[in-house]
Structure 1
Amino acid sequence: MDKQSGLEKIAALGISFAAGWVAQKVVEKVWDKSTGGLSHDLDDDEARVASIVTFAAVSAIVASLTQVLAKRSSKRMVSNWAAKALDK
């Protein structure tokens, strides 16, 4: 397993935050459109447990995919930056 450089870690962090925020908004919009409301709200006493668990599972899957894609993207970006720096 290869270690990430400091620049890769910083890039992954920035990409993860941005992608995570966008992914969260997309999941909430899709959930809202498909269920008719944000019934996954933990403060909602009327929310069904199945709905909350399903939303949590979907959110976890999206978060995991976002993290993997952010790590790959940051590695690719840093490699491109390094290649451009060597060309100069």
Structure 2
Amino acid sequence: MKAIWNGQTIAESNNTVVVENNHYFPKESVKAEYLTDSSTHTTCPWKGLASYYSLTVDGKTNPDAAWYYPDPKDAASQIKDHVAFWKGVKVEA
């Protein structure tokens, strides 16, 4: 699977974890140079507290376009150290 935004591959992995129709990429498969920490947080009742990254590619920024669960609840333990994408990021095979 690949995550692509603004013409760049942000992440690529054969080992994504699919939860609620979202592909979670192993953190080591995500190109850190495109990520910037965000102060945004949301809560999922069964996954826990989510943190966000903004993406910056070629001078364009996509705020809060990636999220992850630094310390997921037990029911979502399979997505620890994984990152998912939205907000116009294409995830494709």
Provide TM-score, normalisation by structure 1.
0.22
Larger Rg: 1
Bigger strand share: 2
Larger helix proportion of the pair:
1
Give the TM-score taking structure 2 as reference length: 0.21
